[in-house]
Each structure stands twice: as structure tokens, then as C-alpha cells.
Amino acid sequence: MAPAGRSATAEGSAHFERVERGERELELVESVALWMDRRYLDPLLALALPGVGDVLGAMIGLASVVVAVRMRAHPALIARMLIHLAVDALLGSIPFVGPVVDVFYRANTRNLELLRQRDVWRASPGDWLIVAAAALAFLLALILPIVALVAFISWAVG
């Protein structure tokens, strides 16, 4: 039954538009996973721009997290997506080994699979705590390669 002031047709149309928008956004996540993981843009960025390439790769990967938020995915799923990106950035920032790890640890493909299996449960306050902890871990993963690069440059110069 439609809420007061809305017809069943308008409600059905709005639902159809949400489904279409969700499908388009999922296509965006598929494109990110294709380019970053299957066409190896993530390890190429890491090789071309040590430290900075991993940060750029993680920032591009945030597109899938934005899609998950817009789809109102469960906060625990969003936290797992952020953790995948953080692990990818941390492991990818290891000199010489990082780009090799980027070939095998495909965070964007993992996030795509999570979105395809997403749950729409109600979130509890504890779930938001997980999201905050994962976001903090992601920020640390973004900062660590830059700090390591600056430390290495200052060590090499001075």
C-alpha cells in the first residue's frame, strides 16, 4: 500500500529509477576493478610513482566505496571495502615487492564482489564503530607511503 499522498505508480517508478541508478553505479565499480586490477593499472602506478602511485590507486578505489554508500550498503560491508583498500595501499607501498603484491591482491575486484553480495540489514551503533575504525586505517594507509618516501628522500639527501 502506498503512503498517503503517493500513488502506487509513482512509488513503483521511483523504485525503478533507484534500481537503474544502482545498476549504472555498479557498472562504474566494474570499470574501476577492470582497469585497476585486471589491466594492472594499480601495479603500474606503483612502479611509475613509488609511494604516490599507491595513494592514487587507493583514491581511485574509493569510487566503489562511494557507490556502496549511495546504495545504502551495510556499514560492515563499507568497512570491509575500506580495509581492502587500506591493505592494498599498505602492501603496495613496500619498495620493490609492492607492485608484485598489487598484481595478486586485487582490492577493487574484492570490493566489486562484496557489492554484488551486499546485505541491506539495519545498521547498529557497533557497525558504525567498525566503519570509523576502517576509515582511520584507510587514512593511515594513505599517509604511511608518503611519510616513508619523505623519510627515504631525507635519508638519501642528508
Render each residue's pLDDT in the chain as its tens digit; 158 residues: 555 555 667 666 665 566 666 677 777 778 888 877 777 788 888 888 887 888 888 888 899 999 888 888 888 888 888 888 988 888 888 888 888 888 888 988 988 888 887 554 556 676 678 778 888 888 888 898 889 999 999 999 97
For 97, half-sphere exposure in the C-beta direction (CA atoms, 13 angstrom radius) is 4
Helix, strand, coil shares of the chain, percent, nearest 5, are 80, 0, 20
- pTM of the predicted model as reported, rounded to 2 decimal places: 0.66
Contacts of 85 (CB under 8 A, 6+ apart): 58, 61, 62, 65, 107, 111, 138, 141
